[in-house]
Structure 1
Amino acid sequence: MTPIDLTSWPRQQHFSLFKEFTQPYFNVCVQLDMAALYQYCKAQQYSFFHAYIYAALQASNAYQPMLLRIIDNMPWQLTAQRASVVELADDDTFRFSYLLPKQSFADFQVHARAVSLATKQQPLFSEAFACTEGQADLLHISVLPWLDFMSFSHAFSQSDNFGIPKLVFGKFNAKTGKMPFSIDVHHALMDGLHVAKFIEQLQRCIDDFCV
């Protein structure tokens, strides 16, 4: 993790403007083309869920603006980030699975399955939660596989000052091959152009998964 020199950073004035906003995040919702990924996972007997989480982590770690954070009121550049993924437990309440980026999907799937199994057997306020939640190098990912949504709004806390991006994947439509995708980013760190470029990066990672 490296501090950013505000004197030479092109976003210095934008950062100063938006970091003081009461609600500095903005949201964009789009439709991702997931048809090829879904069919590939089905044919290979892979977890479709793990595949798109893997692609999201790949894309987020490959695109520099998604690695920006606000720490002690100053911008910092991460070298990598982990995923805090919402998963549903057997009692219909959610847990947070903390997933690391891996070099291959095979390694990631083994890791994700083990973490998910352990997570769902623990309460929300688990040891993993106490040790991990609230750290700057997390990427927040939620899933709403029941809803083909067109907009999304997050709960947020005034103390959330890291500028962590928040991703939400919705219901896969087998007829169209599309899936709704929501992204919230901190406006002090990113603009609409950066969101558009990240979504292009994410779609490439999804498409390249099947090659």
Structure 2
Amino acid sequence: MKTQPCEITPINLDTWPRKQHFAFFNEFSLPYFNVCVSLDMAALYNKCKAEPYSFFHSYVYLTLEACHEYAPMRQRIIDSLPVQLSSVRGSVVELAEDETFRFSYFEKQASMADFSKHANEVGNASKTKPFFSDAFAATEGQPDLIHISVLPWLNFTGFAHAVSEGHGLGIPKFVFGQYDSQTGKMPLSIDVHHALMDGLHVARFVKILQEKIANFCN
């Protein structure tokens, strides 16, 4: 299933409670803030062991589901003004055979089965292409992305991204770490633009994501 075209709706600054916060943080040279949390992933890991789904694909699928449910994760900054997007896609880092990464562009699907098929097809194709592929040229820099990376080798408690000059679009960035089979926990780093969100919003998103994981496993 291909997602519907993303609709971009301007946010009315006159009625938006974050008007002054937006004006304040949007002028920062480094306006993103980072939170690292520990997700309870034991049930999802065990479910994926018993079923023909990739653990990696499963938590990417559920992350996109949570982002579609929680509107602040679909807010962006275009031409210095806040907007609301109707949908988002995942710009997901995957490792190619030469141990360099590629971006795979995953769209929301109607079910985990559909997403698994879609992600396998897209991922296999992207890993055979150069880093600066046609897909990269056509997709990176678009506002309707969620950046998702994975560090399955590290059980980290903090994370900092490489940054470039400019304020950017306000795209959230997620980094999943190493799953700990002893505790059932997995670290997740979340970067969001402070003009669009505060810690309260990140906490609410994490709660939604954890509920998505629990409901999927029941």
Structure 2 length-normalised TM: 0.96
2:29/2:166 contact within 8 Å kept: no
1:205 and 2:207 are equivalent in the alignment: no
**1:26-81: per-residue Cα shift (whole Å, max 9, x none)?**
00001000000000010113100000000000001110110100000000000010
1:175 equivalent in structure 2: 182
1:142 equivalent in structure 2: 149
Distance change >3 Å, CA 160–CA 90, structure 1 → 2: farther
**1:111-158: per-residue Cα shift (whole Å, max 9, x none)?**
000000000000100000000000000000000000000000001112
Letter in 2 for 1:22: S
Percent identical pairs in the alignment equals 62
1:6 and 2:10 are equivalent in the alignment: no
1:104 and 2:111 are equivalent in the alignment: yes
- Which consecutive segments of 4 or more residues in structure 1 shift more than 4 A? none
1:49 and 2:56 are equivalent in the alignment: yes
1:160, distance to aligned residue in structure 2 (A)? 4.7
- Rounded to whole Å, the distance in 2 between the matches of 1:170 and 1:147 is 6
2:130 equivalent in structure 1: 123
1:110, distance to aligned residue in structure 2 (A)? 0.3
Gaps of 5+ in 2: 1-7
**1:163-200: per-residue Cα shift (whole Å, max 9, x none)?**
00000000000010000000000000000000000000
Letter in 2 for 1:84: S
Q: Which moved more, 1:155-164 or 1:48-57?
A: 155-164
Distance change >3 Å, CA 4–CA 29, structure 1 → 2: same
Structure 1 length-normalised TM: 0.99
2:78 equivalent in structure 1: 71
- Rounded to whole Å, the distance in 2 between the matches of 1:189 and 1:162 is 10
1:157 equivalent in structure 2: 164
Aligned residue pairs: how many?
211
- Rounded to whole Å, the distance in 1 between the matches of 2:29 and 2:184 is 37
- Rounded to whole Å, the distance in 2 between the matches of 1:160 and 1:95 is 24
1:208, distance to aligned residue in structure 2 (A)? 1.2
- Rounded to whole Å, the distance in 2 between the matches of 1:11 and 1:167 is 23
1:21 and 2:33 are equivalent in the alignment: no
Letter in 2 for 1:182: S
Q: Which moved more, 1:153-162 or 1:22-31?
A: 153-162
Please point out which of 184, 187, 190 is paired with 2:191: 184
